[in-house]
């Protein structure tokens, strides 16, 4: 009975839930003013917000029914929530958009996602594709930059200051790897060579993005940039990456042993892993790289072997014990079989954190999309041209990927996400990026972000078939 109703009403479920949430939200918002008096519940409304975000994220995974990756559902859900103002519902989600705590949850979400991706990746595999990733990254930075700063920019928006074109080009270089990584993860394809190349290229991209940002900012403020400054930024970033991986690998071994002296339980194992992720993210942020680069490096560095001094998960112990009770020989068989699960245990421990934080990142990313920018037709047309150039620039980069699906790598590099927005925001802050150029960049980011997941998912599924 209930099944029948659910099946029948499934198509209406999304709008109904969004509507009900918005109503409950209004209620919560209204009630926030009058605290019952207990002094409790200062943060109570945040509990509700997080619950609603997680619920809507899961409901939006219904897009899987139509063959789309669930990350697209989360992004679109975010776009809907972020633009409810267009439908006359404002208060609740507006307040959520400006909540520092929700923003931090989102930031932590993408850090944990890249940490998970790093844990599933493998340094040896990454090294194998290193040269190709470098090639993809360089082409994927140079071509979009040249297209944006010297061809499409001056052509579609003539008469602007040269620095504005530089910022446009710079905003077109960055890759936002979170979206691509999530699509590969959703489809269980993180281990294929293309995924490894994209991940490697994205990390290198972030380093190059750092350099480009320093250069164009310097040109915008003092009119020039010294080679010394460029070398210093480049040197610091490379030193961080190489250093963190080398020192990380060495210290993980020692720390694993050290921590297991205090306690060999699950809590300690979990803490060791998450502290690695957080400290690496902090270090990356400290030198101006994206924290996610640090989180990815932390995941890459950590290896099951570093946790060998800790106890097996309870369930693995139980199975071994039980098998031994039945037959000692059976125990050996099951021990071999359970080996993989002990190895995966760290990933299993981080997974619930992922379920908690990661969807918030993608919904919040979607919420940042202002559909209002799409209503100005002349700007929209310019932005479409810039978007095409942005896609072309990254698709070309796939050519450097060697003997793999170049098309897949090219599309994988396409999403610009929040990194493009950072360039636009800084340029605006420096007064060289006008409102129009800013809107153009934002629309380009929206399109590259929203169009890529279904395309990637389509390619991956066709490949499999």
Within 247-266, which residues bind a second copy (CB under 8 A)? 254, 257-259, 261-263, 266
Residues 30-89 contacting a second copy, CB under 8 A: 31, 35-48, 50-51, 54-55, 57-59, 61-62, 64
Q: How far apart are CA 237 and CA 235, in angstroms?
A: 5
Greatest alpha-carbon span in the chain: 82
- CB closer to a second copy out of 146 and 214: 214
Record the tokens describing residue 161, joined without a space.
Answer: 């200051």
Q: Which of 117, 350, 396, 409 binds a second copy (CB under 8 A)?
A: 350
Report in angstroms how near the CB of residue 65 gets to a second copy at its nearest. 9
Binding residue for a second copy, selected from 198, 319, 364, 386, defined by CB under 8 A: 319
Nearest distance, CB of residue 400 and a second copy, angstroms = 25
Q: Which of 197, 202, 210, 364 binds a second copy (CB under 8 A)?
A: 210
**Binding residues among 368-397 for a second copy as defined by CB under 8 A:** none
Polymer length in residues for the chain: 465
Burial of 32 (0-12, 13-18, 19+ CB in 10 A): middle
Which residues inside 214-243 make contact with a second copy, applying CB under 8 A?
Answer: 214, 217
Applying CB under 8 A, what is the total number of residues that bind a second copy? 90
Does residue number 284 form part of the binding site for a second copy (CB under 8 A)?
yes
Q: Closer CB to a second copy, residue 134 or residue 274? A: 274
Residue 176 to residue 353: CA distance in whole angstroms: 21
Closest among 356, 367, 457 to 113, alpha carbons compared: 356
Binding flag, residue 1, a second copy (CB under 8 A):
no
Among residue numbers 352 through 371, which ones bind a second copy (CB under 8 A)? Answer: 352-353, 355-356
Shortest reach from residue 8's CB to a second copy, in Å: 12
Nearer to a second copy, 6 or 238 (CB): 6
Closer by beta carbon to a second copy, 79 or else 349: 349
Q: How far is the CB of 210 from a second copy (least distance, A)?
A: 6
Residues 453, 184 contacting (CB under 8 angstroms): no
Distance CA 428, CA 430 (A): 5
The C-alpha atoms of residue 73 and residue 53 are separated, in whole angstroms, by 12
* DSSP state letters, 245-287: HHHHHHHHHHHHHHHHHH--SHHHHHHHHHHHHHHHHHHHHHT
Map residue 10 onto helix, strand or coil. helix
The Cβ-side half-sphere exposure at 52, using a 13 Å CA radius, reads: 25
């Amino acid at each position: 009975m209930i099944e029948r109703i659910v099946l029948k009403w499934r198509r209406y479920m999304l709008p109904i839930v969004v509507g009900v949430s918005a109503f409950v939200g209004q209620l919560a918002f209204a009630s926030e003013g009058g605290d019952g008096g207990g002094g409790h519940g200062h943060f109570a409304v945040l509990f509700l917000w997080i619950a609603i975000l997680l619920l809507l994220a899961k409901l939006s995974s219904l897009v899987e029914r139509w063959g789309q990756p669930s990350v697209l559902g989360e992004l679109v859900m975010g776009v809907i929530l972020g633009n409810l103002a267009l439908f006359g519902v404002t208060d609740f989600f507006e307040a959520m958009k400006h909540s520092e705590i929700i923003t931090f949850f989102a930031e932590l979400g993408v850090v944990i996602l890249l940490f998970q991706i790093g844990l599933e990746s493998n340094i040896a595999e990454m090294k194998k594709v290193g040269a190709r990733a470098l090639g993809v990254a360089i082409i994927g930075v140079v071509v979009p930059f040249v297209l944006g700063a010297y061809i499409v920019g001056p052509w579609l928006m003539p008469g602007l200051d040269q620095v504005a074109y530089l910022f446009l080009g710079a905003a077109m270089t960055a890759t936002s790897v979170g979206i691509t990584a999530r699509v590969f993860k959703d489809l269980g394809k993180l281990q294929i060579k293309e995924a490894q190349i994209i991940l490697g290229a994205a990390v290198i991209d972030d380093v190059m993005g750092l350099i480009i940002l320093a250069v164009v900012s310097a040109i915008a403020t003092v009119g020039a940039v010294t080679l010394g400054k460029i070398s210093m930024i480049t040197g610091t970033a490379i030193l961080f990456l190489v250093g963190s991986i080398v020192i990380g690998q060495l210290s993980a071994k020692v720390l694993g042993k050290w921590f297991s002296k205090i306690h060999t339980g699950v809590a300690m194992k979990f803490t060791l892993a998450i502290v690695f992720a957080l400290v690496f993210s902090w270090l990356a942020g400290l030198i101006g790289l994206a924290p996610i680069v640090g989180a990815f490096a932390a995941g890459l560095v950590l290896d099951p072997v570093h946790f060998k001094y800790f106890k097996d998960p309870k369930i693995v112990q139980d199975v071994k014990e039980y098998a031994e009770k039945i037959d000692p020989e059976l125990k050996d068989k099951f021990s071999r079989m359970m080996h993989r699960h002990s190895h995966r245990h760290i990933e299993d421990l981080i997974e619930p954190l992922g379920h908690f934080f990661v969807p918030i990142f993608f919904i919040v990313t979607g919420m940042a999309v202002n559909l209002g920018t799409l209503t100005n037709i002349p700007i929209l047309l310019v932005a479409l041209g810039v978007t095409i150039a942005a896609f072309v620039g990254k698709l070309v980069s796939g050519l450097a990927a060697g003997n793999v699906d170049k098309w897949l790598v090219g599309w994988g590099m396409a999403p610009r996400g929040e990194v493009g927005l950072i360039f636009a925001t800084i340029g605006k802050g420096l007064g060289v990026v006008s409102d129009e150029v800013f809107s153009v960049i934002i629309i380009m980011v929206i399109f590259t972000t929203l169009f890529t997941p279904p395309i990637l998912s389509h390619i991956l599924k066709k490949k499999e078939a």
